[in-house]
Structure 1
C-alpha cells in the first residue's frame, strides 16, 4: 500500500484525500493548524470547508509536517499560491527520500511570474520543475466529495510521474487524463480564475447569458494568447484545463472567484468581499500577477486589464464593460491565426 500525503486541509485538499482513500491508499492529510486537526479527528468532518461530507475513518490527520511526509511515496501540495514557496522551503529540510511531488494549486507567483511547479522546483534542492506534476481541471471540491463524475488532467515533463499520478487518483468517479504540456495546464488553471471574476462581474451587473458567453469565449482567446507566448501548446486550451475549467468556474455558484466578481459587479469593494467570503480568492492575486506579466511579455489582455482596474484602481464595473465593448474593431480569427503562425511557422 502506497503512502500519499496531502498538504493542505482546505476543501480541495480534503476532497483529494477522500479520492485517494477510495483507492485504498495509506493517506495522510496535513494541516498547519492543530485546532483544525483536533476538530476533524473528533467530528469526522471538515466543518469549515466541506461541512456536509463525512471523512473516511482511515484518513490520518496530521499537523506535524515532518511526520506527515516521512516515508510518503507521493506528496500532494494543495495550499494557496502565496504559501507554496514557504511550504516548499520547510519540506526541503525534511525530505530524506524522493517522493513524487504533485501540486493541485492554481496561480502564479506575482513577484517572479513563476508557475507553481517552477516555485516548488526552485526550493526543493533535489528536484527540478520538469519532474513536478500539476493536477488541474474542472473540479469543484464539493462535488468530488459527493463522488460526482469528475475529469482532470495530470501534467508533467516526466511521463513516468504523470502515469504514477494517474494511477493514484483514478477511480470510477474521478477520471484522470495525462499531458506533457505542464505550461498550458498550469496557466489554464491559473488564468481561468481571472475570467471567472469577470463572469461574476457580468452577472452582478445583471447582464445575461449573451454577455457571459462572450466573456468566456474572448477570455479563452486571451488565456491562449499569453500561454502560447509562454511556450504552451494552444490545443491544450480546447481541453479540460482550458475550456473545461473555464466553464465550471465561470458558471457555478461553488466558485469563489465567481462569487467575488458577482459582489464586485454589485458595487462592493474588495475588502468587504474578502471579509464576506472568508476564504482566499486566488483570482485576485492572479490578476495582479498576470497584469504585470502580460505587460512584460507585450501580450494584449484587455479583459485582464479591465478586471485589474476594477480591483486595484477602484474603477466601476460598468465603466470596465463599456470600455471593453468600445474597443477597436478586429477579426475574431486574428488571435488564432497569429498564435498558429508563430508556433508552426518553422
Structure 2
C-alpha cells in the first residue's frame, strides 16, 4: 500500500528527501509556507533558491496548505530549522485526528531550553496523536542526493519497529539507511558537528591546511562525545554515521553552509554580514550558544566550542582564538 507522507519544509534537504520518498513509491506532499516556491516546484519542477542545478520529478507535488498536507498523511517528516520546530509542531497537532509516525531530519538544539528536537516534538504533539518519533540523520548533502550519489544515514528511535519503518520508506539503491536505538546520541552528534564545521571552515579561510583540519575534526569528535556521554548517550554512537560520518562530510565540503560561514569568518568577515548574505539558516551558529551553555551545565571541557562561541558571541578575533587553542597547556590525548 502506498504510504502518504507529508514533508514539512521545502529547503534543500526537505526537497531532496521528498524526491527519495517519491522515487520509492510514496505519495508525497511537500509543504512550504511560500506560495511562490510551491508554484515553482509544481509548475517548473525546480527549487532554484535552494537547489539551483537540480530538476525535480514531474510528479512531486508541493502545497502551502498545512492542514491538507498533514490530515491525509500517515507519516510526517519535519525538515525545518530548529527554531521553527516547536511552533510548527504546535500548529499541526490540532490537525491530527489519528496517530501519525513523526520523523525529523533537522539538526540542532533549541535556544534557551537546550532541548533536543525529539523532546520538543514530544512536548508539542500529544502522545495519543503519534505512534513514535524517529530522527533521520547522517552524512548527507542534498545536492548529492538529488544527483543519486551514494548516501548512507541513520534512522534513530527508542521504538525499534518505527525506526525500521522509516528505514523501509527511504532505503533504495543509492540511499542506504541503518537503524539505531540511541536517538539521544544521534541528535547530539547531528547538532554539535555543525559547530565543528564552522571551525573547520574558519581554519580553511585563514589558509591552514589538512593537518589543521584533521586535528580539529578529531578533537571536535572528542568533545562532542564527552558532552553526549555526560547527557546519557552511548559513546559508540559517535563513532557511527551521525558522529564521525557527519563530521567528515560537514567539515570538508563547501556544500556545507556551516563550513561556508566559518570560511568567511576565517577570511575576516563579520558574522551578521555572513548570515545576511547567505540567506539560509546556519544551525551551527545558534547551536554554538546552546552547546556552550550545556558544557557549563555539565562541567564538560569543550575548547573548540568555547573558541567558536568567543568569535561569534563575544567578537573575538578568529586568528587569536584559533592560535589560543594551540597554546593550551599540554595534556594526554
Q: TM-score interval w.r.t. the shorter chain? A: over 0.9
**Residue aligned with 1:107, SS:** coil
1:127 Cα deviation from its structure 2 partner: 5.6
> Higher mean Cα deviation, 71-80 or 130-139?
130-139
1:133 Cα deviation from its structure 2 partner: 0.2
**Residue aligned with 2:72, SS:** coil
> Higher mean Cα deviation, 46-55 or 144-153?
46-55
Q: Distance in 1 between matches of 2:135 and 2:216?
A: 26
Q: Distance in 2 between matches of 1:58 and 1:130?
A: 28
Structure 2 CA distance for partners of 1:159 and 1:276, relative to 1, 3 Å? same
Structure 2 CA distance for partners of 1:129 and 1:182, relative to 1, 3 Å? farther
* 2:203 aligned residue: 202
Contact 1:191–1:286, Cα closer than 8 Å, also in 2: yes
Contact 1:102–1:135, Cα closer than 8 Å, also in 2: yes
1:35 Cα deviation from its structure 2 partner: 1.6
Residue 122 of structure 1 pairs with residue 123 of structure 2:
yes
* 2:20 aligned residue: 19
Residue 320 of structure 1 pairs with residue 318 of structure 2:
no
* 2:58 aligned residue: 57
Q: Distance in 2 between matches of 1:198 and 1:276?
A: 19
Deviations 1:279-321 (A, max 9, x none): 1100001001111111111111010000000011111111111
Contact 2:158–2:182, Cα closer than 8 Å, also in 1: yes
**Residue aligned with 1:274, SS:** helix
* 1:150 aligned residue: 151
Contact 2:6–2:31, Cα closer than 8 Å, also in 1: yes
RMSD over aligned CA atoms reads 1.2
- TM-score, normalization by structure 2: 0.98
* 2:5 aligned residue: 4
1:125 Cα deviation from its structure 2 partner: 1.4
**Residue aligned with 2:94, SS:** helix
* 1:219 aligned residue: 220
Q: How does 1:188-267 map to 2 (within 5 A)?
A: 188-267=189-268
Q: Distance in 2 between matches of 1:45 and 1:71?
A: 25
Aligned length: 332
**Residue aligned with 1:293, SS:** helix
Contact 1:92–1:123, Cα closer than 8 Å, also in 2: yes
Deviations 1:56-108 (A, max 9, x none): 12212110111001121101000000000000000111111111000000000
Q: Distance in 2 between matches of 1:130 and 1:293?
A: 30
Q: Distance in 2 between matches of 1:303 and 1:129?
A: 38
**Residue aligned with 1:152, SS:** strand
Residue 276 of structure 1 pairs with residue 277 of structure 2:
yes
1:330 Cα deviation from its structure 2 partner: 1.0
Contact 2:100–2:129, Cα closer than 8 Å, also in 1: no
Q: Distance in 1 between matches of 2:127 and 2:227?
A: 30
Contact 2:102–2:130, Cα closer than 8 Å, also in 1: no
Contact 1:137–1:153, Cα closer than 8 Å, also in 2: yes
Unmatched tracts of structure 2, length 5 or more: none
1:323 Cα deviation from its structure 2 partner: 1.2
Q: Distance in 1 between matches of 2:134 and 2:315?
A: 37
Q: Distance in 2 between matches of 1:129 and 1:98?
A: 4
1:277 Cα deviation from its structure 2 partner: 1.1
1:214 Cα deviation from its structure 2 partner: 0.3
Residue 110 of structure 1 pairs with residue 114 of structure 2:
no
Residue 96 of structure 1 pairs with residue 94 of structure 2:
no
Q: Distance in 2 between matches of 1:148 and 1:13?
A: 17
> Higher mean Cα deviation, 192-201 or 49-58?
49-58
Contact 1:108–1:190, Cα closer than 8 Å, also in 2: yes
Contact 1:121–1:128, Cα closer than 8 Å, also in 2: no
1:134 Cα deviation from its structure 2 partner: 0.2
- The runs of 4+ residues in structure 1 deviating greater than 4 Å are 127-130
* 2:180 aligned residue: 179
Unmatched tracts of structure 1, length 5 or more: 333-346
> Higher mean Cα deviation, 119-128 or 267-276?
119-128
Q: Distance in 2 between matches of 1:30 and 1:276?
A: 25
Structure 2 CA distance for partners of 1:116 and 1:127, relative to 1, 3 Å? farther
1:188 Cα deviation from its structure 2 partner: 0.5
1:129 Cα deviation from its structure 2 partner: 9.6
